[in-house]
A and B are shown apart, each in its own frame.
Chain A
Amino acid sequence: MLALIQATNDLKTIGDQVVQLIMPEVILTLFACAALVLDVMLPRGRKRPVAWLSLAGVGFALVSLGFLYFNITSEGKSRLGFFNMIVIDNYAVVFKLIFLIGAGLSILLSIRYLDEEGEQRGEYYSLILFSVVGMMFMASGVDLLTLFISLELMAISVYILVGYTKRDRRSNEASMKYFLLGAFSSGVLLYGISMIYGLTGSTNLANIAKALPIIISPAYEPLGQTVDLRYLVLMSMILMAAGMFFKVAAVPFHMWAPDAYEGAPTSTTAFMSVAVKAASFAMFGRLFLYGLPDLRDTLAGNADKNIPGLPGWAVLLGVIAAITIVWGNLAALTQNNTKRLLAYSSISHAGYTMLGLIAANETGYTGFILYLFIYTLMNLGVFGCIIALRRHGIQGDRMEDLNGLMKKAPWLTVMMTIFLLSLGGIPPTAGFIGKLYLFAGLIETGNPWLVRLAILAVLMSAVSLYYYIRFIRAMYIEPETEMQPVKLAPSLQTALAVAVLLVMLIGVYPQPLLRLTQKAAQAQGLKTHDYDQKKADEGEIERPPGAGTGR
C-alpha cells in the first residue's frame, strides 16, 4: 500500500489543457450515448429525432474542432497530449474536418433511406458517431496502441453498419465477408506492429522514427556483434503496409470492397466509401510519414562487405498504386450494378490518393489531403443520387434504373452529372484540382519512374471517363424503363445541394481549401523527401520553413 501511495505521488496528472484536445471526440461520444437513450424513449416508427440529435452532435463537434484550430494549430503549431498518445496538428484537424463533414452528410442521406428500408432505428446513428470517434483518434494518434484501438473502434462499427439491414441476405453476406477479411487484416497489421515494437522498443511513432536510422544500418552492433536487422524491419513494414492496403482497398487486397459496397445499405456504402477510406489514409500517413520516414528510400547496404541495399516503401507503394489504378479502372468498365461499379471506382481513387504519399513532397501531401477532402464530397454526392433512386419496390442500384432520369428528375440528373465529372477529374469541378495536385506532386520530383507513374495515372483516369459517361448516357439518352416518379426528401436535397455547391466552389475557387490543406501538409513531423540532396535533414523533425518544394 505504501509503495502504491509513493508511486501515485509523482503521478503525472491530466489538466483541462489536455482534455480540451479531445473535446470533439468527447462530444461525439456523449451524443452517441444520448442517441441510444433517446432511441429507447421514442415510440416505434418515430425515430427520426435521433437523426437530428446525432446531426447536432456532429455540429457541436465541428464547433469545438474550430476552437482547437483557432486556439492551437492555425499558426502551424502542434500540441501533444495524453502522454504523447495523440497530437493535435493541422494534419489531424483537417482530417477530422473531413470525417465530420462526411458523417454529417451521411446522416442526412440516411434518414429517408432507412425509412424506405424499414430499418429506421437509433443505433444506426450512434454507430456512425462511434465510428467517427475512432476515425478522429486515428487521425491524431501518434502511438501504435492508440492507432490500432481507434482503427478497431472504427472498423467494428462499420462491420455492423454493413450488416444493418438484417432481412437482406446480401447485406448479411457482405457484413460477414467484410468482418472476416477485416479481422484477418487487422491481425496482419498487428503482427507488423508487434515486430516494429520489438525492434525499436517503443510504440510511439516519434521514438520509432528516432530509432530506425540506427537499426537499419547494416553494421548495427547492439551487443558487440554486427546484426543486419534490415530484413526484419522491412518485413514489419510490409506487414503494416498490407494491413493498411486492405483498409484502403488497394489491389490485391481489394476483394472485399465490391461485395461489401454492393451488399451494404446504400447509405452505409456512402459513409464507408468516403469516411473509412479517409480515416485509413490518415492512419496510413501517420504510420509511414511520421513513424517510418526513413524506410521510404533505399535502405543503404555496404558495397565493401557485399551487403546489398534494399528497396524501401516508396517502391512498394508505387507498384501497388500502379496496380490499383489500372485494375480498379479496368474492372469498373464491365460492371452493371452501380454500387459495384462505384466500388471499383473507389478502389482506383485509393490508388490515386496513394500517389501523394509516394511523391513525398509538399505538393504531394497537399494533394493527398485535398483529394480525400474532395473525394468525400463527390463520392457522397454520387451515392446520394443513387439513394434517391431507392423507392417503392425499386432497389435503384442497377444501371437500368438510371435510364431516362433526365425526364423524371432534371435537377437530380444535373447534380449527378457534376459529381460524375468531378470523379472523372474534368475541370472546372473539384476533382480536377485534387488530381492536379496529386499528379503535379509526382512530376515535381523529377524522378523518371515517378513521372511514368503519373503518366499512367493520367491515362487511366481518361479510361475512367468511359464508365462515368456510361451513367450520363443512361440518364440523358436512354428511354425510361419504368415510370415510378423520383421524389427527393428534404434532408437528401440539402445534403446533395451542399455537396454540389462545395464541389463547384472548390473547383472554381480552391484557394481557401488549398491554404488549409497546405497547412496540414506542412505539419511537423511529416517528413518530406528531398530529391536534390540525398543526405538531407538527418534526424531533424522540424523542417525549416520553405524547405519543401515551393510552387
Chain B
Amino acid sequence: MEKALFIIFAVVSVAAALNILLQRNPLYSALSLVGTLIALSALYVMLRAQFIAAIQIVVYAGAIMVLFVFVIMLLNAPKEAPYIEKHKALRFLAIPFAGLLIAEAFYVIRLVKPIQMPASDDSAQAVGTTLSVGTKLFTDYLLPFEVTSVLILMAIVGAMVLARRGED
C-alpha cells in the first residue's frame, strides 16, 4: 500500500515538474508547481514528517505560489489563447473524465476503513514532527538559524537599496 502510494505521488511530482518546463504559459507552469509541491508534501507525510508536510503546503503551495502568480500577472503573461480553447473537441473529454472521478469517489467511500495512526511514542522519535523540528532548530541548528535571520535582514536592506528611487 505504502509503496503504491509512494509510486503514485512520486510519478505525480515528477510529471508535474516536467510539465512546469513544458508549458508555454507561465501561469500553467505555476499551477504545475503547485501540483509538484502537494505531491511532495504527501511524500513527507509518508515519511511521518507531518510538520514539514504542513509547512510545505502552507508556505510553498500557499504563500510563495501566490507571490509567483502575482509576479506573473505583473509581468503581463503572454496573452496566448490557452491550448484547450483552440481544440474545441477536447472539451468533450471532460464528461468521461468527470464520470471516472465520480465512480472513483464512490468506490473509495465504499471501501474506506478507519486507518491506524502511528503510535504516539513512534512520532516522538520521528524527524519531521513539530517537536523534533523545534528542538533541533533551537539546539543543533541554532547557528544556521540565526545566520539565516541575518541573511533575511540583509536581503531586506538590499531589496530596499535596489528598489528605492533616486533621491535627486
The answer to whether A and B interact is yes
User: CB distance B168 to A153 under 8 Å?
Assistant: no
B83 interfacial by beta-carbon distance below 8 Å: no
A146 to B135 alpha-carbon distance, docked (Å): 18
Known: A85-B143, A166-B162. A29 touches B150 (CB 8 A): yes
A269 at the interface (CB under 8 A from B): no
Is there contact, CB below 8 Å, between B157 and A7?
A: no
A448 at the interface (CB under 8 A from B): no
Does B68 lie at the interface of the complex (its beta carbon under 8 Å from any beta carbon of A)?
Answer: no
User: In chain B between 12 and 35, which residues have their CB closer than 8 angstroms to a CB of chain A?
Assistant: none
In the complex, what residues of B have CB within 8 A of residue A153's CB? 147, 150-151, 154
Q: Is residue A3 within 8 Å, beta carbon to beta carbon, of the partner chain?
A: yes
Given that A12-B139, A149-B144, A152-B151 are contacting pairs, would A127 and B167 also be in contact in the complex, using a CB cutoff of 8 Å?
no
- Interface contact B160-A123, CB-CB below 8 Å: yes
Q: Which of B124, B139, B148, B158 contacts A160 (CB 8 A)?
A: B158
The yes or no answer to A475 lying at the interface (CB within 8 A) is no
What sequence of 0s and 1s flags, for each residue 145-168 of chain B, a beta carbon within 8 Å of any chain A beta carbon? 001101101110110111000111
- Given contacts A123-B161, A167-B166, whether A85 and B144 have CB atoms under 8 Å apart is yes
Residues B154 and A7 in contact, CB atoms below 8 Å apart: no
Q: A163, B131: Cβ atoms under 8 Å?
A: no
* CB-defined contacts of B158 to chain A, threshold 8 Å: 123, 127, 156-157, 159-160
The answer to whether A150 and B147 touch (CB under 8 A), given A83-B139, A130-B154, A157-B154, is yes
Does A471 lie at the interface of the complex (its beta carbon under 8 Å from any beta carbon of B)? no
Please tell me if B122 contacts chain A, counting CB pairs below 8 Å. no
Interface residues of B in 114-129 (CB under 8 A from A): 124
Let me know if A143 is at the binding interface, CB within 8 A: yes
Instruction: Kindly state whether residue A432 has any CB partner on chain B within 8 Å.
Output: no
Tell me whether A86 is interfacial, beta carbon within 8 Å: yes
Q: Assess whether A133 is in contact with B162, with CB atoms less than 8 Å apart.
A: no
Residues on A with beta carbons closer than 8 Å to the beta carbon of B135 = 7-8, 11
A134–B153 alpha-carbon span in the complex (Å): 13
B159 to chain A, nearest CB (A): 8
Q: Mark A138-162, 1 if CB is under 8 A from B, else 0.
A: 0000010110011011001101100
A137 touches B157 (CB 8 A): no
Interface SS of A by simple majority: helix
Taken together as a complex, chains A and B put the C-alpha atoms of A32 and B151 apart, in Å, by 12
Q: Is the CB of A166 within 8 A of B150?
A: no
Q: Report Cα–Cα, A11/B140, bound state, in Å.
A: 10
- A127 nearest CB across to chain B (Å): 7
**B142 A83 Cβ-Cβ under 8 A:** yes
- Judged by a CB distance under 8 angstroms, whether B70 is at the interface is no
Pair A3/B124 contact, Cβ less than 8 Å: yes
Chain A residues near B162: list those with CB within 8 A.
160, 163, 166
Which residues of chain A are within 8 angstroms of B139 by Cβ–Cβ distance?
11-12, 83
Answer whether residue A449 sits at the interface, using C-beta atoms and an 8 A cutoff.
no
The residues of A that contact B160 with a CB separation of less than 8 Å are: 123
Are the CB atoms of A44 and B167 closer together than 8 Å?
yes
Which residues of B are found within 8 Å of A137, using beta-carbon distances?
A: 143, 147
Q: Which of A96-147 contact B (CB under 8 A)?
A: 118, 121, 123, 126-127, 130-131, 133-134, 137, 143, 145-146
Query: Taking the complex as formed, is A164 at the interface, i.e. its CB lies under 8 A from any CB of chain B?
Result: yes
Using Cβ atoms and an 8 Å threshold, which residues of chain A touch B155? 156
Q: In whole Å, how far is A445's beta carbon from the nearest beta carbon of chain B?
A: 37
A29 to B147, CA, bound (A): 10
Most buried by A among B138, B139, B144, B161: B144
How far apart are B43's CB and chain A's nearest CB, in angstroms? 15
C-alpha gap A8/B131 in the complex (Å): 10
CB proximity of B33 to chain A, nearest CB, Å? 16
Query: Considering only CB atoms, which chain A residue lies closest to B163 in the complex?
Result: A166
In the complex, chain A residues whose CB is within 8 Å of the CB of B154: 32, 127, 130-131, 153, 156-157
Task: Tell yes or no: A82 within 8 A of B by CB.
Answer: yes
A4 within 8 Å of B by Cβ? yes
Q: 5 other contacts beyond A3-B131, A149-B144, with CB at 8 A cut-off? A: A12-B139, A121-B161, A130-B157, A143-B144, A146-B147
User: Which B residues are closer than 8 A to A by beta carbons?
Assistant: 124, 131, 135, 138-144, 147-148, 150-151, 153-155, 157-158, 160-162, 166-168
**Can you show 21 pairs from A to B with CB atoms below 8 A apart?**
A7-B131, A8-B135, A14-B142, A29-B150, A44-B167, A85-B140, A85-B142, A86-B143, A121-B161, A134-B147, A146-B143, A146-B147, A149-B151, A153-B151, A156-B155, A157-B154, A159-B158, A160-B161, A163-B162, A164-B161, A167-B166
